Chains A and B, each alone.
Chain A
Amino acid sequence: MSVMGLFFVFIASIAVTWLWRQGVMSSTWLAEGEVANYPGEALSPPPAAKVGLGVYLVVAGCLFSLMTAAFFMRMESSDWQPPPAPGILWFNTLALVVSSATIQMAQFAAASRSREGLKLWLGASGVFSLAFLLGQLCAWRELVDAGLYASSNPANAFFFLLTGAHGLHLIGGLVALGRTFRGAWDDRRNTALLASSVELCAIYWHFLLFVWLLLFAMLTGRAEALGAICRRILG
């Protein structure tokens, strides 16, 4: 449950900072003079879609941290066996890293109004994401061939659950990426709008990469080292 604790501390710190900037602590009715005192006009809010994505990432983050918390709680039992770690996962991780990097390049291309670069980098990112998904399927195949089904033991079940949930999120992202990609080929499309949707995709990809790296570390048993560092810092 300490995973959930960390996650909530993180969310709460964002929320408190935001509330503070909105002036929740001020009592405007006590101020003399002006009708009301407003938080400075310098606050330029992000577009609604970006805030919406941010809120969604909190929900998805909550989902993954709950599954992680369940994993760690289950791990404490004495009959725990570590989950399988097919070697192809290393290759998949690399593909996802490249995919995340290329989508960042796409965002730079969109910002510099280069349509051709945008098409290229978006396409590349899509291909590497598909490679990642295919690799994950291969990993599943490998486990099933080795007779390691989801029903074999709890660790396997967690492996399939976590990779499956992550994969589904990526498929959802690919739908959005596909729409953006189609928009990039349409010359009548507003460049600024296109740039903002590329930015949203990029944020989502980085988020999924971050989640995957944590899951990967956890599934291959490297989370212990991470946990030890955290405990050292907190202790």
Chain B
Amino acid sequence: MTDATVRPEDAVPPAETPEMELFHAHSWVTQYVFCQDAKVIAIQYAGTAIGIGLVALVMSWVIRIQLAFPGAISFIDADVYYQSVTMHGMIMVVYMLTAIFLGGFGNYLIPLMVGARDMVFPFVNMLSYWVYLLATLVLAASYFVPGGPTGAGWTLYPPQSILTGTPGHEYGIIMMLASLILFIVGFTMGGLNYVVTVLQGRTRGMTLMRMPLTAWGIFAAAVMALLAFPGLFVACVMLLLDRTLGTSFFMPSIVELGEHKNYNGGSPILFQHLFWFFGHPEVYIVALPAFGIVSDLISVHARKNIFGYRMMVWAIIAIGVLSMVVWGHHMYISGMDPWFGFFFAVTTLAIAVPTALKVYNWVLTLWHADIHFTTPMLFALGFLVTFVNGGITGLYLGNVIVDVPLSATLFVVAHFHMVMGIAPVLVIFGAIYHWYPKITGRMMDERLGKIHFWITFLGAYAIFFPMHYLGLLGMPRRFYEMGQTAFVPHSAELLNIFITVTALVVGFAQSIFFYNLFRSLKHGAPAGGNPWRAASLEWQTPETPPGHGNWGKELPIVYRWAYAYSVPGEPEDYLPQNVPPIAGEHSP
């Protein structure tokens, strides 16, 4: 046993990996455009993701306007409606949420949180962004090809996705599949980096069990994504071959418009298996980084260590593992063997256990804490409530007999928007308000932030709560117009109009956020290095914003976990990870 207070670094084992060589930019182009610095790549990723996300937001208005005022705008015909549904779904899930959490926050936070100078393969990291940008551009370009983008729904189920009658069956679907293939190639390059940086890039003393939960969440999500995206890749390649070369992986022999097509013997259900093998883990690829970030936001802004850190880590791993074996619950109505339904219902409901554990731990962290109602904290609390909400309707839908009647209704739309739409988006906002001072050196305006929060939070509930009710009424999703549907009462139409108006208001209200974001660049209050008095490593950089190489001359040495808040007997109420230990301290 050594006395840790005399020469504290002796208590820390030597670094496991040698220092990496940094790439140094020599021109404006290599510094800001083709840049290998993870922080610049992060901002490029996030900017692209938010940009294409705004396109998807506009698509959602098109959908909502058609649902509330059918035929009011002549430009929205059935084709445009289905194209909007498809693009809204695909962009939001893949090109926005996945890219911003892993490409944006992952790139910015992983090296800073584990005390690395950069990602371990900076060049591959840069390539990852440019391939992602190319994928986004290919997707956006499908608006300008004859026939427009595909309208097959974001699940792209064959046979309908490549047959006449589906909008965009000529070129749109090819562009969509090509874009997804590119996205997965680009993502794999990035994902390799995130995983290997966590494995190999940690600084001296940063053991796995001292990493902030944000780093754990992003790490676990990256591992899952690397295992799940090949499913989508295979599905896309095979569907593309069916469409272009006329193979029959998914296409059964089929008569189309009185003409017998050349396909024979393909299996459409096979596509569903491959697609959902990716599709379900995708939910948690989005949710796990959000879980991690929320843990950190709550701990910092409630000035209390996270309750049950080790359990939180294991819950992340358990959720990751379980989520790989639940994909069948998206296929309850595909006519599968009832025993499969039973298996998938059991695994689906089992996920509730680690998830509930995390929710309890967040609540117990807040219990008797010194809660500061800052904007990031408000968003974190908003996430907590919204996620529990969406999770509970998930328990209903996870049961086969409840899912079968509800599957094709707006109830499902309400469920997944709550759990993987609104909840992660609230976390994204919270995280931007939280780390903006580190990224720019200036604070975002608190008053505008709170206005933004309340409009977004209450607005989201006003939009999606009534949808549960509409779903229970039996109002179908995916329908372009209701026509003479007797079972949908008049009140449902009024409710639809209310939802649409709210959606438009909440959508436009996001301009408050963008105004705040850009105004604070110049006019925000100077933040200093650590405005939230946070203990984790990314707030301890010598410069703010962190310079190239992050840490100046010496890499930091880590002495404790990231949650040393309200330590008894300390002048400050927190101990940063890199401050040498005080006598008698027992931090993990």
Chain A interface residues toward B at CB < 8 A? 1, 4, 8, 11-12, 15, 19, 22-24, 26-36, 38-39, 41, 43-45, 48, 51-52, 55-56, 58-59, 62-63, 66-67, 70, 73-74, 77, 79, 150-151, 153-154, 157-158, 160-161, 165
Interface check B146, CB cutoff 8 A? no
Give the distance to chain A from B320, nearest Cβ to Cβ, in Å.
Answer: 10
Interface size on B, residues (CB 8 A): 63
Partner of B11, one of A4, A19, A35, A161: A35
| Contact yes or no, A59 B226, CB < 8 A | yes
| Contact yes or no, A22 B208, CB < 8 A | yes
Interface centre among B13, B313, B581 (most CB of A within 10 A): B13
| Contact yes or no, A66 B277, CB < 8 A | yes
A8-B227 Cα distance, complex, nearest whole Å? 9
| Contact yes or no, B265 A153, CB < 8 A | yes
Contacts of A63 in B (CB 8 A): 230, 233-234
| Contact yes or no, B267 A74, CB < 8 A | yes
Give the distance to chain B from A121, nearest Cβ to Cβ, in Å.
Answer: 27
Contacts of B321 in A (CB 8 A): 12
Give the distance to chain A from B263, nearest Cβ to Cβ, in Å.
Answer: 8
Contacts of A79 in B (CB 8 A): 265
| Contact yes or no, A157 B248, CB < 8 A | yes
Contacts of B237 in A (CB 8 A): 161, 165
Partner of B196, one of A35, A39, A48: A48
Task: Provide 12 A-B residue pairs closer than 8 Å at the C-beta atoms, listed in order of the A residue.
Answer: A24-B310, A28-B209, A34-B11, A35-B585, A41-B13, A41-B14, A55-B195, A70-B273, A73-B273, A150-B241, A154-B266, A157-B247
Give the distance to chain A from B326, nearest Cβ to Cβ, in Å.
Answer: 13
| Contact yes or no, B310 A58, CB < 8 A | no
5 extra A-B contacts, CB within 8 A, seeds A58-B227, A154-B248: A29-B588, A52-B121, A59-B192, A59-B226, A157-B241
Interface check B249, CB cutoff 8 A? yes
Contacts of B245 in A (CB 8 A): 150-151
Contacts of B120 in A (CB 8 A): 48, 52
Partner of B588, one of A28, A45, A73: A28
A56-B229 Cα distance, complex, nearest whole Å? 13
Give the distance to chain B from A53, nearest Cβ to Cβ, in Å.
Answer: 9
Knowing A58-B227, A66-B230, A153-B264, the reply to whether A23 touches B207 (Cβ < 8 A) is: yes
Contacts of A30 in B (CB 8 A): 586
Partner of B230, one of A24, A28, A33, A59: A59
Partner of B199, one of A51, A62, A153: A51
| Contact yes or no, A43 B16, CB < 8 A | yes
Q: B228-248: contact bitstring with A at CB < 8 Å (1 yes, 0 no)?
A: 001101100110010001111
Contacts of B121 in A (CB 8 A): 48, 52
Q: B14-50: contact bitstring with A at CB < 8 Å (1 yes, 0 no)?
A: 1011001000000000000000000000000000000
CB-based closest 7 A-B pairs: A29-B588, A157-B247, A151-B246, A63-B230, A48-B200, A62-B230, A35-B4
| Contact yes or no, A29 B587, CB < 8 A | yes
Interface check B262, CB cutoff 8 A? yes
| Contact yes or no, B313 A35, CB < 8 A | no
Give the distance to chain B from A70, nearest Cβ to Cβ, in Å.
Answer: 6
Contacts of A33 in B (CB 8 A): 1
Interface check B291, CB cutoff 8 A? no
Give the distance to chain B from A23, nearest Cβ to Cβ, in Å.
Answer: 7
Partner of A157, one of B20, B249, B559: B249
Contacts of B230 in A (CB 8 A): 59, 62-63, 66
Contacts of B241 in A (CB 8 A): 150, 157, 161
Interface check B188, CB cutoff 8 A? yes
| Contact yes or no, B234 A70, CB < 8 A | yes
| Contact yes or no, A151 B587, CB < 8 A | no
A63-B238 Cα distance, complex, nearest whole Å? 12
A161-B230 Cα distance, complex, nearest whole Å? 15
Interface residues of B in 241-271 (CB under 8 A from A): 241, 245-249, 262, 264-267, 270
A79-B201 Cα distance, complex, nearest whole Å? 52
**Of all chain A residues, which has the CB nearest B234?**
A66
Interface check B324, CB cutoff 8 A? yes
Give the distance to chain B from A140, nearest Cβ to Cβ, in Å.
Answer: 13
| Contact yes or no, A161 B238, CB < 8 A | yes
Contacts of B223 in A (CB 8 A): 15
| Contact yes or no, A38 B13, CB < 8 A | yes
| Contact yes or no, B264 A45, CB < 8 A | no
| Contact yes or no, A67 B234, CB < 8 A | yes
**Of all chain A residues, which has the CB nearest B588?**
A29
| Contact yes or no, B581 A35, CB < 8 A | yes
| Contact yes or no, A45 B17, CB < 8 A | yes
Knowing A55-B192, A70-B238, A70-B274, the reply to whether A36 touches B231 (Cβ < 8 A) is: no
| Contact yes or no, B270 A70, CB < 8 A | yes
A34-B233 Cα distance, complex, nearest whole Å? 49
| Contact yes or no, B247 A45, CB < 8 A | no
| Contact yes or no, A51 B270, CB < 8 A | no
| Contact yes or no, B588 A34, CB < 8 A | no
**Of all chain B residues, which has the CB nearest A7?**
B227
Interface check B484, CB cutoff 8 A? no
**Of all chain B residues, which has the CB nearest A39?**
B207
A52-B191 Cα distance, complex, nearest whole Å? 10
A97-B383 Cα distance, complex, nearest whole Å? 55
Interface check B2, CB cutoff 8 A? yes
| Contact yes or no, B192 A52, CB < 8 A | yes
Contacts of A28 in B (CB 8 A): 209, 588
